[in-house]
């Protein structure tokens, strides 16, 4: 390589990349799915929260996360600075937080960038579910518009548990979906989930951009004209029913499919799947069924036409409480696209699978990420940022991002699936564009490994100190390359045993630059060589 500043012939600068990998064991299924992509990790990004239950962001937002705390507040996390804002973004009061009550959900309007609307799901002072709209600024610093609160609907609850809590807008039709639990207690004592004349135990689908009840201040919404039970008996808001406690549901942002995780009574935890093409009207079975099992709570009831889960698991090894997640549709981890992630709040596991809607899911289809992700305790929820990257929420106060090391994220951005599987193209010591610079140094210097050869942005020179002249070099660094170690070594010849970091001194090093100097003055040697070595430390 030729430095940008000419040096006398007796001086040379060499760039050398070495890779040190510290590998972990993977399950055979995990290795089968992505053998060359490197380990997936759950990186802690924020801690010290007070009973967090959800994390999300406005459409397209990547710089900030909105963290919902059950105790009644929403916190803002600045991802670039890695800090929580000191003040709550929103504090809801009065609110009841006993048992499963509290501030439970948050969603942004599909046209948020234009109207600034966001919606929350919480239980009020007497324990009833409230869906409320606020208006806010659409750019940082985010603030809630004073006196903008508008209650969309309030739904009476029977007991303190089984409130559901999630809400979101379908990417397919733009309507707001609100899953509700069966009213609580155990075994649905008031038989709410099979009663379409009231709202508990069902999924509501409403239009919040219209008002079909202008004379009723407690119903500030419209009914989509294709809701399945309009004129068929029952409440027109209902889209589907037969649910016990749908805790954490999600839309696949790419397909519009709806995923519903329903917490079981004492025998089954289940995941239900509703394709985007569904006209609604599904009866998911509770309290007639718990998963695929007949409950015998209503022995004479007809169970024909019920929609069963695509996956369920039992209580044979202890109590369970499923927490639904998302289908990964981000871009940072292309090999995970299509994986549906879910967790269990009591059993403390995190798993995923790919689903073909023409089939079902068995335990053999699962990838268990529990150990890989560091045995996260009380995984209560998942969340997405504005572009589909996934996060895990621990109810004990921590949020994690599902991600990889910076080196692997860089590779994912620059190489396609086929190229990543070929080490001769995407490996750390490969040189796919033939410019003489291996991928590891392209990464360390923030360059495109597949781009046309360009002059290296190195600044080299000679520095005089007390009459002696020394070789210096300034190396640009990529702020992203936090898992790279750059070491400067000097030598008087090219003997492999002659290089020594002890013969160089680091004059200055920041996240974007490293400046080094040879400790041996040129007056004392005919020739001097300076070598920059990059080492990758991958967990």
Strand order in the sheet with 202-206: 168-169, 176-179, 202-206, 238-241
In terms of domains, do 19 and 168 share one?
Answer: no
In terms of domains, do 120 and 31 share one?
Answer: no
In terms of domains, do 377 and 442 share one?
Answer: no
pLDDT tens for the chain, residues 1 to 539: 333 345 555 555 555 544 444 434 444 444 345 668 888 999 999 999 999 999 999 999 999 999 999 999 999 999 999 999 999 999 999 999 999 999 999 999 999 999 999 999 999 999 999 999 999 999 999 999 999 999 999 999 999 999 999 999 999 999 999 999 999 999 999 999 999 999 999 999 999 999 999 999 999 999 999 999 999 989 999 999 999 999 999 999 999 999 999 999 999 999 999 999 999 999 999 999 999 999 999 999 999 999 999 999 999 999 999 999 999 999 999 999 999 999 999 999 999 999 987 777 888 889 999 999 999 999 999 999 999 999 999 999 999 999 999 999 999 999 998 999 999 999 999 999 998 889 999 999 999 999 998 888 888 888 999 988 889 999 999 999 999 989 889 888 888 888 889 999 999 999 999 999 999 888 765 678 888 888 888 65
Distance CA 243, CA 289 (A): 10
Q: Which helix (H) or strand (E) holds 150?
A: strand 150-155
DSSP state string for 367-428: EE-TTTTT--S-EEEEEE-TTS-EEEEETTTEEEEEE--HHHHHHHHHS-HHHHT-HHHHST
**pTM: predicted TM-score of the whole model, two decimal places:** 0.93
In terms of domains, do 14 and 162 share one?
Answer: no
**The CA-based dihedral angle spanning residues 30, 33, 36, 42, taken in that order and rounded to the nearest 10 degrees:** -50
Tell me the three state secondary structure of residue 444: helix
Q: Which residues pair with 484 in a beta bridge?
A: 536
Q: Which long-range contacts (CB under 8 A, 24 or more apart) does 81-88 make?
A: 82/45, 82/46, 84/46, 84/48, 84/49
CB crowding 455-485: b at 16 or more within 10 Å, else e: ebebebeeeeeeeeebbbbbbebbebbebbe
Domain count of the fold of the chain: 2
DSSP 316: T
pLDDT digits (tens, 9 = 90+) for 298-319: 999 999 999 999 999 999 999 9
Burial of 441 (0-12, 13-18, 19+ CB in 10 A): buried
Distance CA 435, CA 452 (A): 8
Distance CA 248, CA 268 (A): 16
In terms of domains, do 247 and 331 share one?
Answer: yes
CA distances from 533 to 20, 165, 429, 474 (A): 12, 53, 12, 14
Domain boundary among 385, 403, 421: 403
In terms of domains, do 397 and 474 share one?
Answer: no
Specify whether the CB–CB gap between 131 and 151 falls below 8 A. Answer: yes
**Residue 426: domain span:** 1-39+409-539
pLDDT digits (tens, 9 = 90+) for 388-442: 999 999 999 999 999 999 999 999 999 998 999 999 999 999 999 998 889 999 9
In terms of domains, do 385 and 440 share one?
Answer: no
Question: Of 441, 323, 431, 317, nearest to 376 (Cα)?
Answer: 323
Domain boundary among 388, 403, 418: 403
In terms of domains, do 13 and 63 share one?
Answer: no
In terms of domains, do 27 and 61 share one?
Answer: no
């Amino acid at each position: 390589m030729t430095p940008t500043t000419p040096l006398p012939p007796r001086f040379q600068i060499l760039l050398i990349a070495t890779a040190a990998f510290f590998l972990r064991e993977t399950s055979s299924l995990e290795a089968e799915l992505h053998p060359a992509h490197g380990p997936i990790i759950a990186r802690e990004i924020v801690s010290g929260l007070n009973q967090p239950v959800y994390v999300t962001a406005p459409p397209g937002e990547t710089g900030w996360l909105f963290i919902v705390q059950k105790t009644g507040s929403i916190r803002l996390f600045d991802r670039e600075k890695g800090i929580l804002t000191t003040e709550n973004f929103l504090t809801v009061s009065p609110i009841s937080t006993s048992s499963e009550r509290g501030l439970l959900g948050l969603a942004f309007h599909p046209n948020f960038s234009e109207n600034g609307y966001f919606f929350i799901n919480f239980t009020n002072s007497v324990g009833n579910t409230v869906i409320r709209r606020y208006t806010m600024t659409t750019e940082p610093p985010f603030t809630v518009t004073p006196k903008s609160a508008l209650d969309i609907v309030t739904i009476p609850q029977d007991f303190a548990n089984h409130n559901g809590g999630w809400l979101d807008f379908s990417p397919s039709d733009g309507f707001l979906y609100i899953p509700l639990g069966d009213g609580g207690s155990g075994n649905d004592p008031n038989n709410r989930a099979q009663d379409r004349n009231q709202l508990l135990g069902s999924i509501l689908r409403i239009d919040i951009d219209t008002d079909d009840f202008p004379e009723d201040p407690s119903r500030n919404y419209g009914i989509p004209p294709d809701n399945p039970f309009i004129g068929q008996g029952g409440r027109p808001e209902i889209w589907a029913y037969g649910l016990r406690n749908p805790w954490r549901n999600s839309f696949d942002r790419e397909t519009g499919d709806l995923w519903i995780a329903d917490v079981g009574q004492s025998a089954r935890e289940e995941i239900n799947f509703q394709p985007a093409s569904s006209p609604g009207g599904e009866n998911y079975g509770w309290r007639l069924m718990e998963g695929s099992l007949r409950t015998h709570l209503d022995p004479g009831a007809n169970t024909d036409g019920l929609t069963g889960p695509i996956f369920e698991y039992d209580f044979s090894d202890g109590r369970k409480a499923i927490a639904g997640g998302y289908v990964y549709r981000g871009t940072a981890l292309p090999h995970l696209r299509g994986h549906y992630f879910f967790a269990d709040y009591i059993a403390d596991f995190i798993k995923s699978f790919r689903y073909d809607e023409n089939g079902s899911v068995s335990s053999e289809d699962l990838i268990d990420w529990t150990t890989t992700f560091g045995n996260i305790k009380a995984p209560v929820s998942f969340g997405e940022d504005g572009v589909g990257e996934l996060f895990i929420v621990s109810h004990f106060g921590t949020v994690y991002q599902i991600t990889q090391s910076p080196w692997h994220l860089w590779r994912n951005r620059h190489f396609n699936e086929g190229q990543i599987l070929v080490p001769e193209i995407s490996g750390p010591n490969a040189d796919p564009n033939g410019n003489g610079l291996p991928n590891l140094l392209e990464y360390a210097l923030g360059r495109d490994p597949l781009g046309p050869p360009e002059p290296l942005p190195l600044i080299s020179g000679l520095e005089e100190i007390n009459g002696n002249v020394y070789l210096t070099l300034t190396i640009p660094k990529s702020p992203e390359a936090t898992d790279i170690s750059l070491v400067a070594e000097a030598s008087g010849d090219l003997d492999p045993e002659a290089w020594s970091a002890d013969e160089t001194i680091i004059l200055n090093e920041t996240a974007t630059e490293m400046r080094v100097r040879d400790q041996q003055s040129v007056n004392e040697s005919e020739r001097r060589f300076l070598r920059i070595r990059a080492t990758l430390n991958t967990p």
